[in-house]
């Protein structure tokens, strides 16, 4: 197990609290000596911090571990009712909300359609949805520690941010963090949907064992989440991974950004919905797309072939640029359609990923489905305020229910 190392307790006690809480989250129930060993903190420092966390309701005592001679050590675990975070995904046509406790268990989830996506419309819906989700919980209801907000990128890019059906209107100069923070009176973390989706897939899906991977994310448009050494790579302005606006066809289809031949005009949910609309199939939602794919609708099958042809070279490019362990395809597309898209992209072009000793697949489909960005959003406040870093100590693997999120590993 690689250790999460604490800093000097006198200089950075808040950091050490996060380290201790993270070790207990992964290993618990666990005693002070074990916490001290993995956190690289003195036993006295750990004892003081643990008592504080118990007093704050974040940890609970679970009894004593009987082993060997002498008084058995007291064991500590994360208090599932000690706090929770909310993850809110603001998409062009819906808002998804999740509540996740600090033990990693999904406590409530909701999704509601919206006709307008400007701040004046969205903010009251966020407040209402979080309250409705909290109302679903049995007493005691954990305190809300923070809210992660995700929305489509790019952020503050002239000509890209406030145009087209895949973006949100009225958010260009709107301070979402400050406004939502004032409304909810909790810390707010903002992220683009593809990066948050990569966090969600890392914590809850196909990338649990991966430190370096790229997630090609199908929202309304097309985004890319990049994880390097277990950390999300955001770039200078949070816009890293804007793969949807890579030019793939000179003089090709007109994109909402004003360019011709952008990748997302050929390989996105919106491009597929546009083609179906042209054939008289309007307002396609997830269930409709599942059915159309199952029925082998010719437009869906044609879209898979065309999208695969444009995506395969991008996969090889990403492999050459980032040398990831794997590339994941995920997002709002049904699982069966994603599987067929992955299959249609083979054989993949030559890249550095074609190692002689490679045993794992270069390209895999995600497992968290439509809620992956909201799952990542719910984890963001914990990662920012309670966890030293995403790639923290690798705890001994334990069997966990499917509804739990491992916050590291």
DSSP string covering 287-303: HHHHHHHHTT-HHHHHH
Nearest to 214 by CA among 333, 323, 308: 323
Q: Give the whole-angstrom CA distance, residue 10 versus residue 260.
A: 57
**Per-residue model confidence (pLDDT) at position 164:** 53
**Per-residue model confidence (pLDDT) at position 71:** 64
Number of DSSP helices (H) and strands (E) in the chain, helices first: 11, 12
Lowest mean pLDDT among 2-6, 21-25, 241-245: 2-6
**284 pLDDT higher than 80:** yes
Tokens of 148: 């992660």
Tell me the CB-side half-sphere exposure of residue 24, using CA atoms within 13 A: 31
How confident is the prediction for the chain on average, in pLDDT?
A: 84
β partners of residue 190: 149
| Model pLDDT for residues 204-229, shown as the tens digit of each residue | 888 888 889 999 999 878 999 999 98
Contact 234, 194 (CB under 8 A): no
**396 pLDDT higher than 50:** no
Q: Give the whole-angstrom CA distance, residue 331 versus residue 371.
A: 8
Contact 153, 146 (CB under 8 A): no
Higher pLDDT, 357 or 178: 178
pLDDT band at 388 (very low <50, low <70, confident <90, very high): very low
**pTM of the predicted protein model:** 0.77
Question: Using the 8-state DSSP alphabet, how is residue 404 labeled?
Answer: B
β partners of residue 112: 95
Kind of pairing, strands 144-151 and 84-90? parallel
Classified as helix, coil or strand, 161 is coil
Classified as helix, coil or strand, 59 is strand
Kind of pairing, strands 84-90 and 363-365? unpaired
Residues whose CB is less than 8 angstroms from the CB of residue 83 and which lie 6 or more positions away in sequence, other chains included: 57, 58, 101, 102, 142, 143, 144, 145
Q: Give the whole-angstrom CA distance, residue 27 versus residue 29.
A: 6
Q: Give the whole-angstrom CA distance, residue 194 versus residue 377.
A: 11
The arithmetic mean of pLDDT across residues 146-161, rounded, is 70
**306 pLDDT higher than 50:** yes
**Per-residue model confidence (pLDDT) at position 249:** 95
């Amino acid at each position: 197990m690689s250790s999460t190392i604490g800093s000097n307790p006198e200089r950075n006690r808040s950091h050490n609290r996060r380290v201790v809480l993270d070790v207990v989250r992964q290993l618990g129930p666990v005693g002070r000596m074990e916490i001290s060993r993995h956190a690289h903190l003195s036993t006295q420092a750990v004892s003081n911090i643990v008592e504080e966390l118990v007093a704050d309701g974040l940890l609970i005592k679970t009894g004593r571990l009987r082993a060997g001679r002498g008084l058995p050590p007291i064991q500590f675990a994360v208090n599932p009712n000690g706090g929770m975070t909310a993850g809110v995904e603001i998409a062009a046509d819906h808002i998804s909300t999740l509540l996740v406790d600090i033990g990693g268990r999904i406590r409530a989830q909701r999704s509601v359609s919206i006709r307008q996506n400007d701040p004046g419309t969205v903010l009251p819906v966020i407040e209402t949805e979080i309250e409705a989700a909290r109302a679903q919980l049995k007493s005691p209801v954990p305190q809300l520690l923070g809210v992660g907000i995700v929305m489509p990128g790019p952020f503050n890019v002239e000509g890209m941010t406030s145009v087209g059906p895949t973006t949100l209107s009225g958010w260009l100069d709107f301070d979402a963090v400050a406004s939502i923070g004032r409304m909810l009176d909790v810390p707010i973390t903002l992220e683009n949907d593809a990066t948050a989706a990569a966090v969600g897939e890392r914590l809850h899906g196909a990338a649990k064992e991966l430190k370096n991977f790229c997630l090609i994310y199908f929202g309304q448009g097309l985004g890319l989440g990049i994880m390097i050494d277990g950390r999300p790579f955001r770039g200078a302005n949070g816009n890293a991974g804007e793969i949807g606006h890579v030019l793939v066809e000179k003089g090709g289809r007109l994109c909402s950004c004003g360019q011709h031949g952008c990748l997302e005009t050929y390989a996105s949910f919106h491009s597929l919905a546009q083609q179906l609309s042209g054939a008289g199939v309007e307002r396609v939602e997830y269930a409709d797309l599942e059915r159309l794919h199952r029925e082998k609708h010719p437009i869906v099958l044609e879209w898979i072939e065309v999208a695969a042809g444009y995506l395969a070279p991008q996969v090889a490019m990403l492999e050459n640029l980032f040398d990831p362990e794997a590339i994941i395809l995920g997002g709002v597309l049904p699982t069966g359609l994603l599987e067929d898209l992955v299959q249609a992209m083979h054989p993949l072009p030559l890249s550095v990923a074609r190692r002689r000793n490679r045993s794992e697949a270069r390209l895999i489909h995600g497992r968290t489905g439509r809620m992956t960005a909201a799952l990542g959003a719910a984890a963001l406040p914990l990662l920012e305020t309670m966890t030293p870093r995403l790639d923290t100590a690798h705890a001994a693997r334990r069997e966990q229910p499917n509804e739990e999120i491992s916050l590291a590993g």
